[in-house]
Amino acid sequence: MPVNRADRGLARMTPLVLVLALFLSGPSLFAQDSPGRWGDDLTVRLALIGPGDELHFWWGHIGLVVEDRGTGQALFYDWGVFSFDSENFFRDFAMGRLFFRTEVSPASLNYHIYVLTNRDIILFTLDLPAEKKEAIVLFAENNVLPENSVYEYHHFWDNCSTRIRDVIDMALGGQFKARYGEAPGRFTLRQHVRRHTWFNPFFDWILNFWMGQGIDRPITVWDEMFLPSELAERVYGFRYIDPDGNERPLVSSVQVVFSATDRPAVLDVPRLQWPRQLLFSLLLSGALVLLYLLYGKRKWFTVLFGGFQSMAGLFFGIAGSMLFFLTFFTNHDYTFYNINVLFVNPVFLAAVPLGLTLAFTKNERRRSASVRFLRLLWAYVFAGCLVTVVIRIFPAFYQQNHPTQALILPLALAVVFITTRLGQRAAKTRHG
């Protein structure tokens, strides 16, 4: 997962840090006077960093820490640094082409930053033969070279965690993937995402609204290690066969460097979201219907109801427009094949002017027309949402979009009811 701005600042110090490291350590850093001598001086640790404040830090971070007893150095190798080198960075970012880079910096400075930002730091010392530790360090050093450092990031398939997962598998001669590559995962990608977003109702809903069917399929334990915490857990419990044929644990010790305080917990099991969305929608819809039944003939209700239509149209219209853009015009593949676009899309924006007209116009014909079009809009939304409920029984259309359906269906039904009654009343007034 990405690092924070301070980490990026440290990353930009990398060339100077490397030059100083080479100067201070001399040839002992990379030279091997005898087989395994350099590796015997190395300690390789997995550094698990807990969630941070910003949205893109909610899933945590992970890096490799290499300590060299011969030089007294400890370096932090990081595959999660934003790369701003692209000439069209912001356009590429919006279109789904996210470029990250590998950087190295002093471990102590990284620890200091993470402590200041109140993020957990847990170190897992890897129990590896000397030659395997050497291979990891040489691989990491090759990755931080300018010509190798930049890569195209993917939230689930290629990030800071999957890169280190692959490095560990390389050091173990493929044993790591052999164990977990086909093992069924605990949850889907969506459910893993929601274990980290549950505490913020808005982002919990909107992120899942934008993500499509691709993240609802079964995955393997190997896939689950896109999350730093999942990788650390699997590394901690792993045993492998060393070159001498002995079984040994991959982790020899665990050190808690810092424990964050007052942070929302990461859930072991994702909680059900749709009952809360359904309850909220039922309460809101019930309140609208009750207000109509009691005060539907009052002018203030018309203003209130029209204003509500405009706000709903603005919220769902923007969310639907963003979904439409992500689905059809970008490389954000985790938003593809999203059946939410069938009933929440840019058409919703029509409710903004229609609601304002209903609330403030003094022209009865315009008010009647706005009511009629609002009824048609919400009837379409209700029908589209209902269709997505039904077609989910077919595997090709399955999507865990229950929260969106639970939020929309009662609300759409209530608005259709109220606009129908308003239209009938207006017709009676015209003919009466």
For residue 211, pLDDT over 60 is answered with yes
Under the banding of pLDDT at 50, 70 and 90, the label for residue 89 is low
Dist. CA 276–CA 371, nearest whole Å = 30
Side-chain-side CA neighbours of residue 399 (13 Å):
27
The pTM score is 0.85
Dist. CA 217–CA 348, nearest whole Å = 29
pLDDT score recorded for residue 37: 62
67, two tokens: 């300590």
pLDDT score recorded for residue 391: 92
303, two tokens: 């203003």
pLDDT score recorded for residue 85: 64
pLDDT score recorded for residue 426: 74
DSSP structure class, residue 83: -
pLDDT score recorded for residue 98: 84
195, two tokens: 């274990």
Taking the chain, what is the end-to-end CA distance rounded to the nearest angstrom? Answer: 66
**246-249 long-range contacts, Cβ below 8 Å, gap at least 24?**
248/127, 249/127
3-state secondary structure 96-135: CCEEEEEEEEEHHHHHHHHHHCCCCEEEEEECCCHHHHHH
CB atoms within 10 A of CB 34: 7
**Average pLDDT score, the chain:** 89
3-state secondary structure 277-339: HHHHHHHHHHHHHHHHHHHCCCHHHHHHHHHHHHHHHHHHHHHHHHHHHHHHHCCCHHHCCCH
pLDDT score recorded for residue 284: 97
| Mean pLDDT computed over 230-244 | 96
Coil/strand/helix, residue 245: coil
| Mean pLDDT computed over 344-352 | 97
| Mean pLDDT computed over 358-362 | 94
| Residue 135: strand pairing partners | none
CB atoms within 10 A of CB 49: 32
For residue 9, pLDDT over 70 is answered with no
| Residue 256: strand pairing partners | 122
Q: Name, in order, each residue with C-beta under 8 angstroms of 98's C-beta and a sequence gap of 6 or more.
A: 92, 152, 153, 154
Chain centre to alpha carbon of residue 115: 23
Q: Are 156 and 96 in contact (CB under 8 A)?
A: no
Dist. CA 142–CA 163, nearest whole Å = 14
Dist. CA 131–CA 39, nearest whole Å = 6
Q: Which of 23-27, 112-116, 269-273, 380-384 bottoms out in mean pLDDT, i.e. has the lowest?
A: 23-27
Q: Are 231 and 62 in contact (CB under 8 A)?
A: yes
Q: Which of 51-55, 219-223, 393-397, 410-414 bottoms out in mean pLDDT, i.e. has the lowest?
A: 393-397
Under the banding of pLDDT at 50, 70 and 90, the label for residue 28 is very low
Under the banding of pLDDT at 50, 70 and 90, the label for residue 249 is very high
Q: Name, in order, each residue with C-beta under 8 angstroms of 83's C-beta and a sequence gap of 6 or more.
A: 99, 100, 101, 149, 150
| Mean pLDDT computed over 22-36 | 38
Q: Are 403 and 273 in contact (CB under 8 A)?
A: yes
Under the banding of pLDDT at 50, 70 and 90, the label for residue 94 is confident
Residue 329, burial from CB neighbour count under 10 angstroms (0-12, 13-18, 19+): exposed
Coil/strand/helix, residue 46: strand
42-49 and 73-82 strand pairing: unpaired
Listing DSSP states for 204-241 in one string gives HHHHHHH--GGGGS--BHHHHTTSHHHHHHHHHT-EEE
For residue 4, pLDDT over 90 is answered with no
pLDDT score recorded for residue 182: 96
